[in-house]
Amino acid sequence: MEQELQSQNFPQEVSRCGTNSVDAVLDELESAGAPELLTRAGPGGLRGSLQALLRMREFSVLSATILLFIALSLATPLFPQLDNILLVARQISILAIIATGVTFLFISGEIDLSIGSIYGFLGIVLASLIAKFGFNPWFALLVVIVLGAAIGFVNGTVTTRVGIPSFIVTLGMLSILRGGALLASGGWPVMIKLPRDDPFLNITSGHVAGLVPTQVFWMIGIMVIGGFVLSKTRFGSHVYATGGNQEAAILAGINTKWVKTINFMITGALCGVAAALLLGQHRNAFPLTGTGYELDIIAAVVIGGTPLFGGAGSILGTFLGAAVLGMITNGLVLLGASAYFEPVAKGSIIVAAILVDTLIRKRRV
Amino acid sequence: MEQSAVPTGTSPTTAEATGERLIPLVELRGISKSFGHVQALQRVDFCVFPGEVVGLVGDNGAGKSTLIKIISGAYQPDSGVILIDGKPVTFHSPRDAMMMGIATVYQNLALVDQRDVAANIFLGREPTKGIVIDRRRMVEESVQVLQQLRSDIPSVEVPVGLLSGGQRQAVAIARAVHQAAARLVIMDEPVAALGIEESRKVLRLIKQLKAQGRAVIVISHNLEHVFSVADRIVVLRRGRLAGVRRREDTNAAEIVRLIVGAEHL
């Protein structure tokens, strides 16, 4: 067949439009045979893994995490101690759990501003179900998770089927649910009365071996599952494709509306889990809980290297982003800095993270 | 097509020479399609044989895109029949056409830049082992299909966004080929946005597809490219078939006359 291709003669007239020159090149290319074999991956060995490390999206946030850890350890000997590390881990747990859902959403190209309100509202609902309606706490938790997913379904459906940008839809939901939390509680905290050794309290906010907070295990478990789904399953692949090039994803038969709606639902459901972890800790639900929390959560996701416009990002990055935020808060307290300085520091870190990331990306491409 | 050549065996490259004896892979008979008052296609006949490259040319608005969209299942004709392997079929969507081995490479390529080559070739059809994506199979089959196309992509684990225009085209073609185990690949202006060197690579890909026995329909405004790859050239003008020529029997001047209409020269 090859020979036939090459032996075909072209009529003289064709040369008038210069075809022969192109054909000569084509034939030359063909007789040269196939190009060198495709390598399966980049170079192997130490150099290869170093290059892979540098190529990693999480590289900037990973270095930031390590540098911040070293800097804080040098600044104050209290910082690197085990109980302080575990404290930071517990403090970032709730944030990181919600941020896991938000990472899915961001990668698929959507945003949810209502997360802080969903979290606060579900806390009130959960406490009310237990305290006022006498629900079994675990059943109440299940109800709240389903309710969170239902709120996400509304966010997702209005966004994808009606076509209103998620920024606007969830901004509305932010306000509606904050009002809902205030209305449901009458503006007062809702207290749950469970015995001190109730398993619900132990499992949501106790300690394992009297040391490691259970919230940390919730965080690790949810993030490992989230990371697995995102990087190893078809659904995860479709999340990336949806945010990367929605048109291409649709042409490839991916139901991008469903992918996005499911991500809103995952986010809502995780807000329910987070609400339960907080309720276990305080045994009180406050109607203003989660006000402004969306900014911290989105900051963790963005610092972790997930772009606002979707198509890339990872749960590992989000975990590191949450760790950076947690270490800043903790470090400032240990250093005795004014609490008013914390938002300034966080804001600067967010901008710096994006800046570094943008610079690296520009050099890379 | 008057001479009745003797079939020379199995080679698909001789298909056009034995046109009357072979059953076309895809045949359109009397296809008409209008959009409102605009008659985009009027009783157009068209066929493509296995292993044949057909160049589809015509001025803007001549009906080229409408014609390929009917073949790829994106549009349904108002009248006329589509035959695959001599049997009449009806396409309700591009999926139906894909099932019959007809794959389309869209002009914008429809690639996800952030994802790697293997992920793009398997976009929406990722193989799984249990619930986990079978990455190994994706990588192996991607390497295989790209090697078949003799593409020069360095690794299937590079994000598509880092590839050149011609390499991206190769990924899109590889997906089309792999997806449908395509017997017919339709390409709409595959080299429109490419430089000279990259264009040559894509033309080479087309020859490679042909060498594998696949049929190709190429839409192009560039007659030089059409002459370098096409076995037959089909000219549309104002929604009608203006002429069909075998490459050996024609020249650029005649094709241009057919495109613009002889009365204009």
Is it true that domain B23-114+179-264 has CATH number 3.30.70.260? Answer: no
Q: Which two tokens stand for residue B161?
A: 């966004």
Q: Å from B211 to nearest chain A CA?
A: 6
Closest CA to B182 of B27, B15, B50: B50
| pLDDT higher at A329 or B190 | A329
Most confident of A53-67, A82-96, B4-18, B186-200: A82-96
Question: Which domain covers residue A134, as residue numbers?
Answer: 81-364
- Provide the residue ranges of all domains of chain B, joining segments of one domain with +: 23-114+179-264
Report the alpha-carbon distance of residue B185 to residue B217 in Å, rounded.
6
Most confident of A201-215, A268-282, B4-18: A268-282
List the single residue in B113, B157, B223 with the smallest CB-CB distance to A17. B223
Identify residue B60 by its one-letter amino acid code: N
Q: What are phi and psi of A194, to 5 degrees?
A: -120, 150
What's the pLDDT band for A54 if we cut at 50, 70, 90?
low
Q: For the whole model, what pTM was predicted?
A: 0.80
* Contact (CB, 8 A) for A303 and A289: no
Q: Lowest mean pLDDT of A1-5, A11-15, A304-308, name the range.
A: A11-15
Q: Is the pLDDT of residue A80 over 70?
A: yes
The β-bridge partners of B88 are B83
The β-bridge partners of B234 are B56, B244
The confidence score (pLDDT) of residue B209 equals 87
Report the alpha-carbon distance of residue B51 to residue B222 in Å, rounded.
22
**Quick check: is A49 in a domain?**
no
Report the alpha-carbon distance of residue B17 to residue B6 in Å, rounded.
8
Number of H helices, E strands in chain A: 16, 4
Q: Which two tokens stand for residue A343?
A: 């938002």
Q: Is the pLDDT of residue A365 over 70?
A: no
Query: Which residues of chain A neighbour B155 with C-beta distances below 8 Å?
Result: 38-42
**What does pLDDT average to over chain A?**
85
Query: Which residues of chain B neighbour A5 with C-beta distances below 8 Å?
Result: 13, 207, 210-211
The confidence score (pLDDT) of residue B94 equals 78
Beta strand B215-219 pairing with B87-89: unpaired
Burial of B107 from C-beta contacts in 10 A (0-12 / 13-18 / 19+): middle
pLDDT in tens, A308-352: 888 999 999 999 999 999 999 999 999 998 888 888 988 888 888
A-proximal residues of B, 76-105, CB under 8 Å: 95
| pLDDT higher at A96 or B263 | A96
Report the alpha-carbon distance of residue A20 to residue B167 in Å, rounded.
24
User: Could you tell me which residues of chain A have a Cβ less than 8 Å from any Cβ in chain B?
Assistant: 1-2, 4-5, 10-11, 13-14, 16-19, 22-23, 25-26, 29-30, 34-35, 37-42, 232-234, 237-238, 240-241, 244-245, 247-249, 251-254, 311-312, 365
Give yes or no for B154 touching A (CB within 8 A).
Answer: yes
Beta strand B38-48 pairing with B184-188: unpaired
H or E stretch at B167: helix B165-180
Most confident of A20-34, B82-96, B183-197: B82-96
Q: Which residue of A has its CA nearest to B226?
A: A19
| Residues near B126 by beta carbon (within 8 Å), at least 6 away in sequence | A234, A237, B119, B133, B134, B138
The residue-averaged pLDDT of A41-63 equals: 65
| pLDDT higher at B56 or B1 | B56
Q: What percent of chain A has pLDDT over 90?
A: 67
The residue ranges of DSSP E strands in chain B, in sequence order, are 26-35, 38-48, 53-58, 79-84, 87-89, 102-105, 128-129, 132-133, 184-188, 215-219, 232-237, 240-246
Task: Say how many domains are in chain A.
Answer: 1
Q: What is the DSSP string of A70-139?
A: HHHHHH-TTTTSHHHHHHHHHHHHHHHHHHHHHHHHHHTT---S-HHHHHHHHHHHHHHHHHTT---HHH
- What's A128's domain CATH number? 1.10.3470
* Contact (CB, 8 A) for A119 and A170: no
List the single residue in A13, A26, A237 with the smallest CB-CB distance to B200. A26
Give yes or no for B265 touching A (CB within 8 A).
Answer: no
CB atoms within 10 A of CB A314: 21
**Quick check: is A291 in a domain?**
yes
The confidence score (pLDDT) of residue A39 equals 43
**Quick check: is A205 in a domain?**
yes
pLDDT in tens, B59-106: 888 899 899 989 988 889 999 999 999 999 999 887 788 888 898 887
Count Cα atoms within 13 angstroms, Cβ side, for B242.
24
| pLDDT higher at A92 or B222 | A92
What's the pLDDT band for A87 if we cut at 50, 70, 90?
very high
Give yes or no for B130 touching A (CB within 8 A).
Answer: no
List the single residue in A38, A41, A241 with the smallest CB-CB distance to B123. A241
pLDDT in tens, B3-45: 444 333 334 444 444 444 688 999 999 999 999 888 999 999 9
CB contact under 8 A, B132 and A14: no
Express the helix, strand and coil content of chain A in percent, nearest 5 each. 75, 0, 25
**Quick check: is A63 in a domain?**
no
pLDDT in tens, B208-238: 889 888 999 999 888 988 999 999 999 999 9
Preferred mutation among A6, A22, A23 to probe B, highest tally of B CBs within 10 A: A22
Query: Which residues of chain B neighbour A41 with C-beta distances below 8 Å?
Result: 155, 157
The confidence score (pLDDT) of residue A37 equals 41
The confidence score (pLDDT) of residue B98 equals 83
The residue ranges of DSSP E strands in chain A, in sequence order, are 190-191, 207-208, 212-213, 284-285
**Quick check: is A10 in a domain?**
no
**What does pLDDT average to over chain B?**
85
CB contact under 8 A, B228 and A23: yes
The confidence score (pLDDT) of residue B191 equals 78
